[in-house]
Amino acid sequence: MRRRMIGAILALLAPLGAHAAPTDSFARIDQINRASLVMTAETGIVPRPLAATIARALDQVAADAAKPGAERPDDYLRIEPLITAIAGPEATRMHSGRSRQDIIPTVLKLEQRDRLLALAQALDETRGALLAVADREADTIVPAYTNGVQAQPTTLGHLYLGYAAVLARDAQRLREAWTRLNLSPLGAAALGTSSFPVDRKRLAELLGFDAPVENSYDAGQLAPMDMGLELTGLSATLATTAGSFAQDLYAQYHQTRPWILLREGALTGPSSIMPQKRNPVALYGLRMKASDVVGAAQAFVIMAHNVDSGMPDYKRNQAEPPGRTLAEAAELCRRWTRVLDGLVVDRARAAEEVAADYSTTTELADTLQREADVPFRLGHHFASELVSYGRSHDLRPADLPFAEVRRIYAEAAAGTGLKPDLPLDEARFRAALSARGMIDAAAGLGGPQPAEVRRMLARARERLEADRAWRDDRRKGLADARARLDTAFAALTHEP
Q: How far is CA 308 from CA 76, 123, 140, 305, 384, in A?
A: 24, 35, 56, 9, 60
| Spatial separation of the C-alpha atoms in residues 182 and 185, rounded to whole Å | 10
Q: To which H or E segment does residue 293 belong?
A: helix 281-304
What would the pLDDT profile of 378-426 be if each residue is shown by its tens digit? 999 999 999 999 999 999 999 999 999 999 999 999 989 899 999 999 9
Please choose, from the candidates 378, 145, 141, 364, the residue with its C-alpha nearest in 3D space to the C-alpha of residue 248.
Answer: 145
What would the pLDDT profile of 456-484 be if each residue is shown by its tens digit? 999 999 999 999 999 999 999 999 999 99
Measured from the Cβ of residue 284, the count of other Cβ atoms closer than 10 Å reads 17
- Residue 319: per-residue pLDDT: 60
Number of helical (H) and strand (E) elements in the chain, helices listed first: 18, 8
Q: Where are the beta strands (DSSP E) in 284-352?
A: 343-345
Query: Using alpha carbons only, how large is the chain's radius of gyration in Å?
Result: 31
Residue pair 145/112 in contact by the 8 Å Cβ criterion: no
Average pLDDT over residues 321-335: 92
- Residue 15: per-residue pLDDT: 46
Q: Is residue 141's pLDDT more than 50?
A: yes
Q: Is residue 7's pLDDT more than 80?
A: no
Residue partners of 244: CB distance under 8 A and separation at least 6: none
Q: How far is CA 358 from CA 76, 96, 151, 242, 354, in A?
A: 68, 75, 8, 29, 8
pTM for this one?
0.92
| Spatial separation of the C-alpha atoms in residues 254 and 379, rounded to whole Å | 35
Average pLDDT over residues 218-241: 96
Is 67 buried (19+), middle (13-18) or exposed (0-12) by CB count in 10 A? Answer: exposed
Please choose, from the candidates 283, 362, 340, 345, the residue with its C-alpha nearest in 3D space to the C-alpha of residue 156.
Answer: 345
Look up residue 117 and give its amino acid: L
Average pLDDT over residues 73-101: 97
What would the pLDDT profile of 183-226 be if each residue is shown by its tens digit? 999 999 999 999 999 999 999 999 999 999 999 999 999 999 99
Average pLDDT over residues 333-337: 98
